[in-house]
Structure 1
């Protein structure tokens, strides 16, 4: 098992990509902390992982709030005795529309969930990892952060910030044996935010429009992203830091 015995937090794990990452890491031997703001969904995922023979507990947290992220890290230490890796997967977007139609509250929420959450995870997890002699952060960014499209300007900017911040964290934390990497998934029509990304219901016309930009001829799945996270969390990636893995089927436009 590739992450046997590792203690790993996954935020936004009550469904979608986060759930896929939590399940995959648990399959490979990790003790996962399923974190989500929705207690019902998060509890269901953790219980399902345990039913399948994996190790998982649920911890609710609003990742935009420092005290709640602190409590999440403390709960992980209480449960597993250590924290080996933190997967910052929780994300948010404004609806796909002209940039000046996005109001301040929507803008603030996008940056709070996508970026401030990483700040809080660093504030509370880095000291723990330093004390333990090392650790790993895996930040879920987006293809939108490097090849932006119109209509998601502020979301695109937040994900670009995740990418650059991850690289800067890697440079700064490397001497403490803390690795920091990120993953860029491409659009997935089956996630909870897909209609917001698309600017409306993901009907066949919209699916065809997005699919036409992916040379491998299909959309990404939670498992695709989870496999990348598994590699980055494993000892196989012990010398990998500051990279961004694009899980996007070679999306070209």
Structure 2
């Protein structure tokens, strides 16, 4: 087991990539805290982990709220005694509109959930990881944090910010044996792409717009997160791992 006796927080763990990663971690011996605003989905993830013999707890958390993120980290340490891994995954999509038509409230919401939450996770996780003599933080960026796409200004900006925040944290906390990396998924079969699936004109193009000619699965992304969380990635920090089927090369 690659993560035996480790303790991990997974934000956005109620569904999709977050849930797939939680189940993957559980198979590797990790004690897991699921954080999400979706109480039913979060508890369902916990139940699935327990059904396969794992250990997990759920904390309903608004990841853009400093107090709630601080309490999440404190509760994790209170229950399991330490924090080894943080997967900052919670995120939201962007209305498909031009920048001039994007409501300021939508901009603030997307930046808060996709980027500010990563800052808050790092802020409160790092002190506990220092106590544990190290740890691993994985932040979710996106293919669209590396290249632009029309009508997704806030999403592009938030996910690009995650990449530079990841590099910054890697530089600052490497001396504390805390590795900080990011993943950049492409088009993955999760709820966030439901709108694209319903577009009969765009979906046939979007669904094949990479070197492999297909969309990815949450489990394929979970495998990448597991690698970056494990000792197999012990000399990797400040990196952004593209999990996009070659979308950047297309």
TM-score (norm 1): 0.95
Task: State the match for 2:40 in structure 1.
Answer: 40
Task: State the match for 2:124 in structure 1.
Answer: 124
Cα distance in 2 for residues equivalent to 1:175 and 1:202? 48
Q: Secondary structure at the match of 2:228?
A: helix
Task: State the match for 1:148 in structure 2.
Answer: 148
Task: Give the deviation of 1:100 after TM superposition.
Answer: 1.4
Cα distance in 2 for residues equivalent to 1:4 and 1:49? 15
Task: Give the deviation of 1:132 after TM superposition.
Answer: 1.8
Deviations 1:137-181 (A, max 9, x none): 100100001121111122111100000110111011111111000
Task: State the match for 2:86 in structure 1.
Answer: 86
Residues 94, 102 of structure 1: 8 Å contact kept: no
Task: State the match for 2:97 in structure 1.
Answer: 97
Task: State the match for 2:158 in structure 1.
Answer: 158
Task: Give the deviation of 1:33 after TM superposition.
Answer: 0.8
Where do 5+ consecutive residues of structure 1 fail to align?
A: none
Task: Give the deviation of 1:182 after TM superposition.
Answer: 0.3
Cα distance in 1 for residues equivalent to 2:15 and 2:194? 16
Report the more deviating stretch, 36-45 or 211-220: 211-220
Q: Secondary structure at the match of 1:13?
A: coil
**Cα RMSD between the aligned structures?**
1.3
Task: Give the deviation of 1:87 after TM superposition.
Answer: 0.2
Cα distance in 2 for residues equivalent to 1:48 and 1:213? 33
| Runs of 4+ residues deviating >4 angstroms | none
Q: Within the alignment, does 1:109 sit opposite 2:105 as a pair?
A: no
Q: Within the alignment, does 1:229 sit opposite 2:225 as a pair?
A: yes
Task: Give the deviation of 1:202 after TM superposition.
Answer: 2.6
Deviations 1:197-248 (A, max 9, x none): x3xx534433211123211121111011100000011111111101110000
Task: State the match for 1:53 in structure 2.
Answer: 53
- Say how many residue pairs are matched: 249
Task: Give the deviation of 1:105 after TM superposition.
Answer: 0.4
Residues 86, 136 of structure 1: 8 Å contact kept: yes
